[in-house]
Amino acid sequence: MDTFQKSLLLSGRVQGVGFRYFTRQNAENLNINGWVRNRRDGKVEAVLQGSPENVEEMIARMKQGPSSARVDDVEIREAPADEEFTGFKVRR
């Protein structure tokens, strides 16, 4: 099976608002593998792997974010799936 993968960088009010846990819950609901983490520059970074439809739905949900977040910008990069992830992790 070919794994569809996207790499995301989100900016706005995305730290300290439960964004990573919101992302993990939605990823598990959509059968998305990968990870999410806070960056020192205040952004949130994520790698999503799954079916093209589920990854696109996940991106749409992340653009909205949890109610306490404000997503100002989402940078989406095509990323070769050179690593196969199992499950979805919140990285520190």
The H or E element spanning position 60 is helix 52-64
> Residues 19-35, buried b or exposed e (16+ Cβ, 10 A)?
bbebbbebbeebebbbb
Residues 60/48, Cβ–Cβ less than 8 Å = no
> Rounded distance, CA 61 to CA 66, Å?
9
**Residues assigned a catalytic role:** 20, 38
